[in-house]
Amino acid sequence: MKKQNTVESLLPGTGEYSVKADFRFSFWLLISMLTAIVANRVSSANPELSVSIRVLLNLSPLVPILFFGLNFKRFICRLDEYQRRIQVELLLVVASIGLLINAVLSVLNSNGVATGDLADGFGFVEILAIVLPLWLAGSYVVRQKLGSSNEE
């Protein structure tokens, strides 16, 4: 039988946390964030670049995101049925909150209220900075509320 994945292996402080599992899970995400930062810097530092090159540069983080998506799907598929259900529900909540924040920002932006960094809307890094802590917090809450007893 294949070894089951557990969400706890990605959550520090649960006693089951594994740096190796966490790194394997987050690797493409980190690459994607780095790519987004580099692409953003290069794009803004070189306004003379052609539109096609800028489009390619700005969409380049999507490639590692695709790999992360595949990795994530594999991770979810190897969770047991209870943890998979919880994770799917949690991801729906996290995605909804992310969408809501983006929608609020968009409304503020269209009315000229959002300024500074927020005036251009969210990029990959900002979205990940919202979604990841939400997912981590949600996973902790779920762990505390459902089935986290250490009873033997």
Partner 1 sequence: MKNKLRELRGHRKWSQAALADALGVSRQTVNAIETGKYDPSLPLAFKIARMFEQKIEEIFDDLERFELDL
- Say how far apart CA 58 and CA 40 lie, in whole Å: 7
Segment contacting partner 1 (CB under 8 A): 2-10, 28-36, 94-102, 108-116? 2-10
Give the total of residues touching partner 1 (CB under 8 A): 16
Q: What is the DSSP letter of 117?
A: G
Q: Give residues 127-146 in contact with partner 1 (rule: CB under 8 A).
A: 143, 146
* String of DSSP letters for 84-113: HHHHHHHHHHHHHHHHHHHHHHHHHHHTT-
Q: Containing H/E element for 40?
A: helix 19-45
* In the complex, least distance from residue 87 CB atom to partner 1, rounded to whole angstroms: 12
In terms of CB distance, is 1 or 77 closer to partner 1? 1
**Residue 18 interacts with partner 1 (CB under 8 A)?**
no
Q: Which amino acid is at 33?
A: M
The answer to whether the beta carbons of residues 39 and 61 sit under 8 Å apart is yes
Position among 6, 18, 71, 102 found at the interface with partner 1 (CB under 8 A): 6
**Residue 83 interacts with partner 1 (CB under 8 A)?**
yes
Position among 38, 46, 80, 133 found at the interface with partner 1 (CB under 8 A): 80
- Say how far apart CA 96 and CA 88 lie, in whole Å: 12
Q: What is the DSSP letter of 147?
A: S
**Residue 13 interacts with partner 1 (CB under 8 A)?**
no
Position among 1, 19, 51, 77 found at the interface with partner 1 (CB under 8 A): 1
